[in-house]
Amino acid sequence: MIEVSKLDFDLLIPKEIIDQKVVNLAKEIDNFYTSNNTNPVPIIIMDGAFIFAADLLRHMTLDLNPVFTKISSYSGIHQEKIIQFKETDFTFLQNQSVLIIEDILDSGNTMTAFLELIKKFGINDIKICSLLVKPEILRKDVKVDWFGFEISPLFVIGYGMDYNGYGRGLADIYQLHID
C-alpha cells in the first residue's frame, strides 16, 4: 500500500505486466494497420495517456505523427458533469484514419463527447486503444478496438494517471484502498 495526497492505494497492476501488455498491444495495432496498408494519426488524450502512448508508440513500427489533445472530466476522484476540450478544430484530420490513445475508459461519457466532436471533420476511420476499461460502470456504447486491462470501478493512479496531479509518475498502477 502507498499513500498519495492523504489517500491510500493498493497495487493493482505491476510495471512488468503493464510493459508486456503494451508490447502486445503495439504488435496487434501494427499488424492491423500494416495489413490494411494504413498509417493512422494517433491522437493522444492528455494528460493521463502520455506515458502509455509514449511506450506504445515506441514499440510500433509504423511511421506515426502523433497529435496531442487535452480533455478534462475529473476533479479529484470524481468525474465532472462538464467535459472540457482544449482543442476543438480537427480539420487537419479530414480523410485521415485516426487512432485515439486513451488511458482509461470508465463511464464512456468523455470518449462519446470526443467522438461526437471529431466525427464532424470527415475522418475516414476512428479506432480506440485504451490501457484500462471499467466495464461495470460503462454507460455509453463505446467500441474499444484494443485495450490492456479490464478493472473494477475503483479510482486508479500511476502510469500517467493521477489524483489531483499526484501519482502520475508511478511505474505501477494502483487502485484506491477500500477498508
Order of strands across the sheet with 97-105? 78-85, 67-75, 41-46, 97-105, 125-133, 146-150
The sign one gets for the Cα dihedral 43, 47, 50, 53 is negative
Write down all domains in the chain, each with its CATH number in brackets.
Answer: 22-72+84-153 (3.40.50.2020)
Rounded-to-integer distance, Cα 175 and Cα 60, Å: 28
Is 106 designated active site?
A: yes
pLDDT per residue as tens digits for the range 40-76: 999 999 888 999 999 999 999 998 999 999 876 655 5
Higher pLDDT, 27 or 82: 27
Q: Which residues pair with 12 in a beta bridge?
A: none
Q: Is the pLDDT of residue 85 over 80?
A: no
Rounded-to-integer distance, Cα 39 and Cα 23, Å: 19
Average pLDDT over residues 128-141: 90
**pLDDT value at residue 86:** 63
Active-site option among 103, 106, 145, 179: 106
Helices (H) then strands (E): counts for the chain: 3, 10
pLDDT per residue as tens digits for the range 5-15: 888 999 999 99
DSSP 59: T
